[in-house]
Homo-oligomer: A and B are copies of this chain.
Amino acid sequence: MATGRTHRPATRSRGIPEATVARLPLYLRALTALSERSVPTVSSEELAAAAGVNSAKLRKDFSYLGSYGTRGVGYDVEYLVYQISRELGLTQDWPVVIVGIGNLGAALANYGGFASRGFRVAALIDADPAMAGKPVAGIPVQHTDDLEKIIEDNGVSIGVIATPAGAAQQVCDRLVAAGVTSILNFAPTVLNVPDGVDVRKVDLSIELQILAFHEQRKAGEEAAATEGTGAVPAVRDESGDKGPDGDVPAVMPA
């Protein structure tokens, strides 16, 4: 299924900004909710509020896809759902394998958001022989030995890694060698992959650390450095915000 190479459709400038791509799923979710409530049209203002962004950004984002709205009216919900789905490649079915069926892998297997969005859990794979054959979310777990065959038989191009950190790179290598070109990595480790393979990572601990950074800053702004004992709940006030600049101990070892 090719397209003319060296010749662009030119309908709209291809090259949708990465930041926009990352927001399309957000819009899609909001639109799907509207669709289920049979709302026929929506303005950029309303949709932006539902998606948690501002309307200028939303209109700009949509402008990269094309002119799908009607001035003075807004956007047709169904039509926009279709356009965004198509742009994201969700009008086709993506078989996905999940490797590592521990607590997290099981949670992912049970996650409903998959099926409803064009993704299908094609297989669950785990290294523990005791898991083999046991159904999780209605799908029997298969052993890692068969990884390559499973990937090939199902034409899988997207893999999810939910193994312990120590196994992740090895699993990744095997997935890539078997033909997977997109990986969602939940293991807290950096994966090395060849060019042409996309990796996205989700790291719990990183998200918490970012929150802690901001939390610390809030705490440092209202009360001075009063740490140690107490562990004050410190229900924020957040009025004047922006203190001059919190000052931290500045201890310097060594």
Judging by beta carbons under 8 Å apart, are A248 and B190 in contact? Answer: no
Residues of B within 8 A of A72 (CB): none
Among the listed B76, B94, B204, B248, which residue makes an inter-chain contact with A202, where contact means beta carbons less than 8 Å apart?
B204
Interface size class of A (residues with CB under 8 A): 35 or more
Give the contacts of A2-23 with B (CB-CB under 8 A): 2-3, 5-6, 8-9, 11-15, 18, 21-22
CA distance A121 to B231 in the complex (A): 15
A54 at the interface (CB under 8 A from B): no
Binds B, one of A55-63, A126-134, A138-146, A220-228: A220-228
Judging by beta carbons under 8 Å apart, are B21 and A190 in contact? Answer: no
**A240-B52 CB under 8 A given contacts A158-B208, A234-B194:** no
A206 at the interface (CB under 8 A from B): yes
**A214-B182 CB under 8 A given contacts A190-B51, A242-B18:** yes
Copies assembled: 2
CA distance A238 to B189 in the complex (A): 12
CA distance A232 to B192 in the complex (A): 11
Residues of B within 8 A of A14 (CB): 245-248, 250
Judging by beta carbons under 8 Å apart, are A216 and B184 in contact? Answer: no
A205 at the interface (CB under 8 A from B): yes
Residues of B within 8 A of A76 (CB): 254
Interface bits A174-209 vs B (CB < 8 Å: 1, else 0)? 000001011110001011111111111111111111
Cβ contacts A to B, 11 pairs, < 8 Å? A8-B250, A9-B249, A24-B213, A51-B190, A92-B227, A94-B215, A119-B205, A155-B231, A182-B214, A193-B234, A194-B233
Closest 3 CB pairs of A and B: A89-B216, A196-B238, A103-B107
